[in-house]
Structure 1
Amino acid sequence: MVVMRRRHGDLADDEYVVVHCHPHGRVLAAPVLALFVLAGVLGVLLAALPSGARPVGTWVLVGLFAVTAVVLVLVPVLRWASTSYTVTSRRIMVRAGLLHRAGVNVALNRVAEISYRRSVLDRVFGSGTIVVDTQGPAPLQLHCVPDLAGVQRMLGELVYAVGDGGQRV
């Protein structure tokens, strides 16, 4: 998961990306399962539809399926795709949002402590939540981070290097 590359635009000249990721792909399991269930229910309902209600009833069922699929499948997939966690040589950046984009930047020199939380399911997939305690009012939480151990280790090394005057990295 470690990526050492330079992204143009929002980075300083001597800053580089160390880790860039989206939440773990397992968060897409529920929308995919919902899509299969919706398709099965639609097939059963279309097969059970009386022939007298065929043209209009078919369109109504397909329309309800489309609206439900957008809410239960498309919105969560777009939310996953629009959420990203980036750790650079200087800061942690979190970007999220579909229509209203929001972002948080935390300088590594403001990080006081890094901890994590993992459920049983998180341990199976190697993911988890990283909690970055800063000098601010509330800790920064990166939910469902893939390769939790690797990202946490890299983040710890970067915070240590920044606290050491930038001698290591």
Structure 2
Amino acid sequence: MSYPENVLAKDEQVVLHRHPHWKRLIGPVLVLIVATAAASFVAAYVNSLGWERTAKTVVSLVILAIWLVLIGWLTLWPFFTWWTTHFVITDRRVMFRHGLLTRTGIDIPLARINSVEFRHGLLDRMLRTGTLIIESASQDPLDFYDIPRVEQVHALLYHEVFDTLGSEESPS
């Protein structure tokens, strides 16, 4: 999914657009599998009992309702939150937008960035993800978690910042 062009200024170009790393979806997928298996097992057990058809139908509907609530809350909601979280680098700024019903965002002009760091532990290194830390002139450092290929994003952002500043120290 590309980032909406209507939030960009005239002649502004997207350099990088990322959603958080897919590792954020491991828990919701496991919940989906376990909840579906449990609901299927309980529904099969209820159907094997010698109850009246109406009782079986009511219990099956209750199982379905519980399954739908669990899946909606613990699987679909995290997925849509992941899908609507955007980390975008343009040739002018860094943008971060997140939220499904209530959207929040922050824009950091490249010219205001003082330093760019990244951090990732052993698991993050294996999954090629990490935390990007951006320190701007006017704020405390901002941490952006679960950025895929954080080292490449760090290098790209570093180059963009120096290109924007037109510094003689530019690595390019």
What is the TM-score when the length of structure 2 is the normalising length? 0.88
* Identity level (%): 30
Aligned to 1:162: 164
- The worse-fitting range, judged by mean Cα deviation, of 44-53 and 87-96 is 44-53
| Residue ranges of structure 1 left out of the alignment (5+ in a row) | none
What is the aligned residue count? Answer: 165
Matches of 2:8 and 2:41, distance apart in 1? 53
Matches of 1:20 and 1:166, distance apart in 2? 28
After superposition, the C-alpha distances for 1:65-87 in whole angstroms (9 at most, x for unaligned) are 10011111000000000000000
Aligned to 2:41: 44
| SS of residue in 1 equivalent to 2:75 | helix
Matches of 2:3 and 2:98, distance apart in 1? 21
Given that 1:133 and 1:140 are in contact with CA atoms closer than 8 Å, whether structure 2 keeps it comes out as yes
Aligned to 1:82: 84
Q: In 2 relative to 1, CA 166–43 (structure 1 residues): closer, same or farther, beyond 3 Å?
A: farther
| SS of residue in 1 equivalent to 2:8 | coil
Letter in 2 for 1:112: N
Shift of 1:166: 10
Which of 12, 29, 38 is 2:9 aligned to? 12
Q: In 2 relative to 1, CA 167–124 (structure 1 residues): closer, same or farther, beyond 3 Å?
A: closer
Letter in 1 for 2:43: L
Runs of 4+ in 1 over 3 A off after TM superposition: 5-8, 165-169
After superposition, the C-alpha distances for 1:94-147 in whole angstroms (9 at most, x for unaligned) are 010010011110001111111111122110111101010112232222211111
Which of 127, 130, 135 is 1:125 aligned to? 127
What is the TM-score when the length of structure 1 is the normalising length? 0.89
| Residue ranges of structure 2 left out of the alignment (5+ in a row) | none
Matches of 1:147 and 1:122, distance apart in 2? 10
Aligned to 2:136: 134
Q: CA RMSD in A?
A: 2.2
Matches of 1:47 and 1:130, distance apart in 2? 48
- The worse-fitting range, judged by mean Cα deviation, of 58-67 and 42-51 is 42-51
Letter in 2 for 1:16: Q
Given that 1:17 and 1:87 are in contact with CA atoms closer than 8 Å, whether structure 2 keeps it comes out as yes
